[in-house]
Every structure is written in structure tokens, then in C-alpha cells.
């Protein structure tokens, strides 16, 4: 059985992280389950030329954000975890408190309670103390906070390559190792 990953896309800027995650997971043979928040639908229209249908076609299964009765809302539906890319502060905060109002945050809550991998590509800056405390609480609950930070050591030549590097490093956390990721080769030694 292929690895089964839930991909959530929330309303923070950086919808391309979620798009590339779906594309890379498909290339790696994963079964993907997609949830897109209402705010993410607005961001998708603002940041890309993709339609919601185009985005949903990248996933094996997609769910309406209001469908709290979907299979992925139950711990008995076995997954290998969930990636939220990008993850808004609102989404992060709902997950941290356990007060979930959508399938996106409910699925994340289920992943945590089942002790599965939850990776949040939090896309916000600067952060105030409340944001940092929320991240600490999530880390204590078992989530991985993985903001998309450029890897300058890789000398990536485009925004697309930087997106792939950030997404690929998050997929590493699920045991997927994409050829798109530039791996550290050690320090260059001068002659």
C-alpha cells in the first residue's frame, strides 16, 4: 500500500508550496488527500493561474473544507501524516487549541491525537510572542513547525527551486526523498 498523506492548504501566502507538495508526492507514488480552506481558494486565484479544479486534480482525493464527516476526520482512517503548506496563523492556532471548526483543522487534530506526523509550513513574519507560544504548544503536542526558509547554501537559481527545496525538506520528514532537494555536500575548500 502506498504512503497516504493528507495535504492541507490554508490561506497564507505561498499556495505554491501546497501545489508542489501534491506534484512531488504524486511523483513519489504517495496517495494524497487534499483539503483547501476558503481563504486558500482566494490565495490560489491571487497567486496562480490555476483553478480550484486544477488544484484538486493534482490529488487522489479531495474534500470540501466543511465536510467534517469525511474519512480523514477519523483516526480509524490510517494515514502516514499531514502536511499543511502553507499554514496560516489562524489554522495553526485552531490546531493548537483543539477547537477545530473545519475539516482542515479537524484532520490535523486527528493526526496529532493518533501520534502521526504533522508538519506545518507556517508562513508568517514577523512573529509576536503569542505566535511563538502557539508554536511551542504545537511542538510539545508533537507537530513539526517547518517554515519555508531558503537554503542559500544550495545556490538555487530560481524561486521555483527554492519552493522545491523547502517542500522537499518537509517531505523528508515523512520518509520521502525527492531528487528535487539539493543535499548538503560539505564545505567548499579553497585551494
DSSP helix/strand/coil, 153: helix
**Residue whose cell numbers read 496560516:** 88
Specify if 148 maps to a domain: yes
Q: What is the pLDDT of residues 79-127, one digit of tens each?
A: 999 999 999 999 999 999 999 999 999 999 999 999 999 999 999 999 9
Tell me how far apart the alpha carbons of residues 28 and 49 are, in angstroms, rounded to a whole number. 25
Q: What is the pLDDT of residues 2-26, one digit of tens each?
A: 899 999 999 999 999 999 999 999 9
Cα 191 to chain center, whole Å?
42
Q: How many domains does the chain have?
A: 1
67: CATH? 3.40.50.1950
Strand partners, 144: 119
Cell of 49: 493561474
| Range with lowest mean pLDDT among 68-72, 155-159, 163-167 | 155-159
| Of residues 165, 167, 121, 111, the one with CA closest to residue 142 | 111
Domain that holds residue 96: 4-172
154 falls in which pLDDT band (50, 70, 90)?
confident
Tell me how far apart the alpha carbons of residues 146 and 135 are, in angstroms, rounded to a whole number. 10
Specify if 45 maps to a domain: yes
| Of residues 62, 73, 60, the one with CA closest to residue 34 | 62
Amino acid at each position: 500500500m502506498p504512503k497516504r498523506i493528507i495535504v492541507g492548504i490554508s490561506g497564507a501566502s505561498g499556495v505554491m508550496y501546497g501545489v508542489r507538495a501534491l506534484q512531488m508526492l504524486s511523483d513519489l507514488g504517495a496517495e494524497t488527500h487534499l483539503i483547501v480552506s476558503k481563504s486558500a481558494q482566494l490565495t490560489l486565484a491571487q497567486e496562480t493561474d490555476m483553478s480550484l479544479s486544477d488544484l484538486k486534480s493534482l490529488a487522489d482525493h479531495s474534500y470540501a473544507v466543511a465536510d467534517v464527516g469525511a474519512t480523514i476526520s477519523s483516526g480509524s482512517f490510517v494515514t502516514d501524516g499531514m502536511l499543511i503548506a502553507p499554514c496560516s496563523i489562524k489554522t495553526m492556532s485552531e490546531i493548537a487549541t483543539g477547537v477545530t471548526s473545519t475539516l482542515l483543522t479537524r484532520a490535523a487534530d486527528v493526526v496529532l491525537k493518533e501520534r502521526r506526523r504533522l508538519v506545518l509550513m507556517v508562513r508568517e513574519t514577523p512573529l509576536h510572542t503569542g505566535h511563538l507560544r502557539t508554536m511551542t504548544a504545537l511542538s510539545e503536542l508533537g507537530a513539526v513547525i517547518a517554515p519555508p526558509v531558503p537554503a542559500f547554501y544550495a545556490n538555487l537559481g530560481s524561486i521555483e527551486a527554492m519552493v522545491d527545496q523547502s517542500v522537499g525538506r518537509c517531505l523528508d520528514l515523512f520518509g520521502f526523498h525527492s531528487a528535487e532537494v539539493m543535499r548538503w555536500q560539505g564545505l567548499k575548500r579553497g585551494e
